[in-house]
Structure 1
Amino acid sequence: PGSSQIQLVGSADPVVALAGDDVVLPCYLKPNVSAVDMMVEWTRSDLKTERVHLYREGRDSNGHQLTSYRGRTSLFKEELKNGNVSLKLTRVTLSDAGHYKCFIPTLMKETTIPLIVGAVSQPVISINGTKDWGVVLKCVSGGWYPQPELELLDSHGNIVSATEPTETSDSSETEIHPEGRYTVRQYVTVQKTDDNRFTCRVVQLQINQTRETQIHVPGEVFIH
């Protein structure tokens, strides 16, 4: 087929990954013509088109690659003959999030794939003391990105509202997390229930992630 009929197809939706994961940014020639002898250039279009990976004359040519990507990028060499020019990126970091451009100069075809990178951690729930007739529970979860929502539930799935002011990442917290990760913290006073089980749940919808931790408060902790 002539170059005008060949399409370069990426991803309709952003690619979502968690920090530390390996990820594939999809890019294919349609119809499936071989890209073995073509030049394939991957760049970050949101970083003044800085080079992420370059393949030319049958091999990788990463002399001018962004240093933060050194040793973490590869193409699927055995798939190039089928028109697969997807990029594999290993050990993803939060700073990898952005817009990636897949470009084949000989065809003058390009497509852009957004990459969203999140970070999660397991919440920690503990008994912080007693207040009036209830028990104060403290729920903390650090190292999240983007900023998550935190909620405390009883065993029936009802949200128990916070009694103390809640805080997310203030200036001192952000200094601990150079990548701008968030710590969420909540204090909730709970009353005695039929089973005294409570769940701390942290949710981030953009990256479709939920983490939760359960606690059982012994009945004798409650002031009768």
Structure 2
Amino acid sequence: MHDVTSSAAGTLITSNFTDQLQISVWEETVLSIHDGNAILPCHFFSGFLSHQIIVLWQRVETKEILWSYYHGQNQLNEQSQQYSGRVSLFPEELERGNASLKFENVKLNDAGKYMCSVRTPLENSTGILSLQIAAYYTEPSLRIVQTSNGTNFIFESRGFPEPTVSWLKDKHLDISALSETLCQLGEDGLYSVQSSLQINGTSMSSNFTFRLLNDVLQQSISWTFELSSDIDTGIENRYRWILLAVLVIAELVITAILISKKPVSLKPAK
């Protein structure tokens, strides 16, 4: 019999076979950070000595064995090599009904479903949960490229999963449709994101904001910069810039030297 009930801590999923043995998984999905650690929870109502308890952790999709415990000790002869040295039980907690698995150095390809099986002299039961992996996006780097049509501002960052990217003008006007964003999945499983916005002379007295959102981790990155110009009417808006970009904590500081008839400055918006 399979029961599902609600609690303040989340959804309690239980696999019921007898009144003596019941496995509880307090989270249907466990979220972990790439290269971080995770605890895959598995609890049962015990009342037995450790040598009477058998615990088996497996990956559902591949049937690979992460950890097995019986006869009062760990049994790792059939453990999959990719989990060797990265997973472990809490043996002192088994008699208290805690068969949770500690997962270290979690990778993106570890995402999937995992099954905890517990057997006692009376009965056996299983519980299944999902492991979701995400990676914080790196602080974006900025490249500025001058073209015949204007100036391209290009932000680049890496993380997981695919983010939501947007551009704003004067802090409220969404101009994302004017930008170009490319997301590519790398060999390490992380997304490389490149987003560019071309600005021409008609937008020289405005501020612009680049935003990147990692919904899974609720991570938000925002960079705002301001362009100002005192160019006289009738002067052709063709510029060649030599720019030195310096990133300081959460601010974007750019020093610009303009080769033109009138000066144009690029500075962080306040």
Q: TM-score range by the shorter chain?
A: 0.7 to 0.9
Residue 213 of structure 2 is matched in structure 1 by 203
Which amino acid in structure 2 is aligned with residue 214 of structure 1? W
Residue 95 of structure 1 is matched in structure 2 by 109
Distance 1:154 1:58, change over 3 A: farther
Distance 1:42 1:161, change over 3 A: same
- TM-score w.r.t. structure 2 length? 0.67
Residue 127 of structure 1 is matched in structure 2 by 144
User: How big is each residue's C-alpha offset from its partner over 1:183-216, in whole Å with a ceiling of 9 and x where there is no partner?
Assistant: 221111353456x3x44322232x2332414243
65, 82, 100: which is aligned to 1:86?
100
Q: Separation in 2 of the partners of 1:41 and 1:155?
A: 57
Residue 10 of structure 2 is matched in structure 1 by none
Which amino acid in structure 1 is aligned with residue 82 of structure 2? S
Residue 18 of structure 2 is matched in structure 1 by 4
Following superposition of structure 1 onto structure 2, how do residues 36-47 of structure 1 map, counting pairs within 5 Å?
36-37=50-51, 38-47=53-62
Residue 70 (structure 2) pairs with residue 56 (structure 1): yes
Residue 198 of structure 2 is matched in structure 1 by 189
Q: Separation in 2 of the partners of 1:54 and 1:64?
A: 8
Residue 178 of structure 2 is matched in structure 1 by 163
Q: Separation in 1 of the partners of 2:49 and 2:131?
A: 24
Structure 1 runs not aligned, ≥5 long:
none
Does the CA contact (< 8 Å) of 1:19 and 1:94 recur in 2? yes
Deviates more, 1:209-218 or 1:37-46: 209-218
Which amino acid in structure 2 is aligned with residue 161 of structure 1? S
User: How big is each residue's C-alpha offset from its partner over 1:145-178, in whole Å with a ceiling of 9 and x where there is no partner?
Assistant: 2222222235635433243543222xxxx4xx22
Give the number of equivalent residue pairs: 208
Does the CA contact (< 8 Å) of 2:57 and 2:115 recur in 1? yes
- Determine helix, strand or coil for the equivalent of 1:111: strand
Residue 178 of structure 1 is matched in structure 2 by 187
- Determine helix, strand or coil for the equivalent of 2:69: strand
Q: CA deviation at 1:64?
A: 1.3
Task: From the CA coordinates, give the structure whose radius of gyration is larger.
Answer: 2
Distance 1:77 1:186, change over 3 A: same
Residue 157 (structure 2) pairs with residue 148 (structure 1): no
Q: CA deviation at 1:119?
A: 2.1
Does the CA contact (< 8 Å) of 1:11 and 1:113 recur in 2? no
Does the CA contact (< 8 Å) of 2:137 and 2:160 recur in 1? no
Q: Separation in 2 of the partners of 1:22 and 1:70?
A: 14
120, 133, 136: which is aligned to 1:117?
133
Q: Separation in 2 of the partners of 1:35 and 1:20?
A: 35
Structure 2 runs not aligned, ≥5 long:
1-16, 229-263
Which amino acid in structure 2 is aligned with residue 212 of structure 1? I
Distance 1:54 1:160, change over 3 A: same
Q: CA deviation at 1:85?
A: 0.6
Q: Separation in 1 of the partners of 2:265 and 2:151?
A: 7
User: How big is each residue's C-alpha offset from its partner over 1:103-158, in whole Å with a ceiling of 9 and x where there is no partner?
Assistant: 013332000010011223222234333776x753212222x222222222356354
Which amino acid in structure 2 is aligned with residue 179 of structure 1? D
Q: Separation in 1 of the partners of 2:177 and 2:148?
A: 13
- Determine helix, strand or coil for the equivalent of 1:156: coil
Distance 1:155 1:116, change over 3 A: farther
Identity of aligned residues (%): 27
Does the CA contact (< 8 Å) of 1:24 and 1:89 recur in 2? yes
What is the root-mean-square deviation in Å for CA atoms of aligned residues? 2.7
Q: Separation in 2 of the partners of 1:168 and 1:128?
A: 20
Residue 13 of structure 1 is matched in structure 2 by 28
Runs of 4+ in 1 over 4 A off after TM superposition: none
